[in-house]
């Protein structure tokens, strides 16, 4: 009986000890109970662009006006004064023909002019003399008529000789090929000593002014080229984007390539653009801007499409409702709900909750 009475206090003390241990566990700090490890996540930067992907065309930088210059007379080239790549001014001599024969013809015309002038002066003086004699009755009307006819003929011969001198002077000036505008020599098509015909191309000159990108447009892109916004990037300077304007679109396709030649004027250019450079013309539509996100970034649990955005300061997640315009094989097209540059969780959004603190481990290339 005594042993049973002594066992009861022992059991009671054991129960009290167990209860005390349980209560001590319940009094741990709330922070230790609620603390969760940071979840590693992969993100993608939100970037808004045209809903329709821009199309690019590769072309060559050319001058708006490119002319082949030639002499207006036939002759032998005596001098070529410029080389390919030379920058010239309007009126600057480019090449000269042998002028020996034209100088002799000019001298001959000048001598004929001097003779015609002398003959005219003599006949006019004779007419004036006979006119005075006729007034005094010392000459006949027949003599006066003859004098008038001779004077008129001599005057006409003088005018003809004057025109001949002018023509020879012009011909001599044609022996010097002049630049018709400021520009750059792009080709030399004849050499000194070569005999060239009238109108044969001797110098190719690209006129100074706004450069243009010469491209070939496929038939499927004609409407986009006419109504889109164009920009140009040079292969030599990929970091610089130049605005461009469609200036010319050929109405008929090239017989060989079945494409349509087009010219885009490149605006806001400087000396860094040289003729012949390779350029990429990008055509963008004027449609509303959208963001393309990975398919795994979209969470739809019956409350509408949403994404998780990482706060750049606290690294906490915020759930945002988004408007999805559509889907393709690789991306969801988001029209609104996020801002440019937001860090959007790219994968594993089904395991996350708003307020979770995350750790950025990678940025998805998208």
Q: What's the pTM value of the predicted model, to 2 decimals?
A: 0.59
List the alpha helices (DSSP H) in the chain. 2-26, 30-34, 100-135, 141-173, 222-227
| 3: in domain | no
Q: How far apart are alpha carbons 93 and 342 in whole angstroms?
A: 62
CB-side neighbour CA atoms (13 Å) of 146: 8
| 129: in domain | yes
Of the candidates 151, 174, 197, which is a domain's last residue?
174
The domain tally of the chain equals 3
| 258: in domain | yes
- 260: domain CATH number is 2.40.30.170
The domain in which residue 242 lies consists of: 55-65+209-284
Q: What is the pLDDT of residues 115-152, one digit of tens each?
A: 999 999 999 998 888 888 888 888 788 888 888 898 88
- 113: domain CATH number is 1.10.287
Could you tell me if 62 and 266 are in contact, meaning their C-beta atoms sit under 8 angstroms apart? no
Band of residue 366 on the pLDDT scale cut at 50, 70, 90 = low
Q: What is the pLDDT of residues 322-361, one digit of tens each?
A: 989 888 888 888 888 898 889 999 888 888 888 888 888 8
Q: How far apart are alpha carbons 347 and 298 in whole angstroms?
A: 9
For residue 164 the two structure tokens come to 């001949």
150 C-beta neighbours (distance < 10 Å), count = 18
């Amino acid at each position: 009986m005594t042993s049973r009475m002594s066992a009861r206090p022992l059991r009671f003390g054991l129960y009290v000890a167990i209860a005390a241990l349980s209560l001590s566990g319940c009094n741990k700090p709330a922070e230790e109970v609620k603390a969760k490890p940071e979840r590693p996540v992969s993100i993608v930067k939100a970037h808004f662009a045209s809903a329709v992907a821009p199309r690019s065309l590769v072309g060559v930088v050319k001058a708006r006006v490119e002319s082949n210059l030639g002499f207006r007379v036939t002759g032998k080239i005596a001098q070529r004064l410029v080389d390919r790549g030379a920058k010239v001014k309007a009126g600057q001599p480019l090449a000269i023909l042998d002028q020996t024969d034209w100088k002799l013809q000019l001298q001959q015309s000048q001598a004929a002019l001097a003779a015609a002038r002398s003959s005219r002066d003599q006949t006019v003086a004779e007419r004036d003399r006979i006119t005075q004699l006729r007034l005094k009755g010392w000459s006949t009307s027949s003599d006066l008529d003859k004098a008038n006819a001779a004077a008129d003929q001599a005057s006409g011969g003088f005018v003809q000789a004057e025109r001949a001198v002018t023509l020879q002077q012009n011909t001599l000036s044609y022996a010097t090929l002049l630049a018709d505008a400021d520009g750059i020599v792009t080709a030399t098509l004849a050499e000194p000593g070569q005999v060239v015909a009238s109108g044969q191309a001797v110098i190719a000159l690209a006129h100074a002014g706004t450069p243009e990108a010469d491209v070939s447009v496929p038939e499927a892109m004609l409407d986009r080229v006419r109504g889109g916004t164009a920009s140009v990037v040079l292969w030599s300077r990929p970091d610089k984007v130049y605005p461009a304007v469609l200036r010319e679109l050929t109405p008929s396709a090239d017989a060989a390539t079945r494409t349509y030649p087009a010219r885009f004027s490149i605006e806001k250019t400087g000396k860094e653009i040289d003729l012949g450079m390779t350029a990429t013309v990008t055509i963008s539509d004027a449609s509303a801007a959208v963001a393309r996100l990975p398919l795994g970034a979209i969470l739809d649990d019956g409350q509408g499409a949403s994404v998780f955005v990482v706060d750049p300061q606290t690294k906490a997640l915020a759930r945002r409702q988004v408007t999805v315009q559509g889907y393709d094989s690789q991306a969801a097209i988001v029209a609104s709900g996020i801002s440019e540059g937001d860090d959007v969780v790219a994968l594993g959004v089904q395991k996350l909750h708003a307020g979770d603190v995350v750790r950025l481990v990678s940025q998805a290339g998208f």
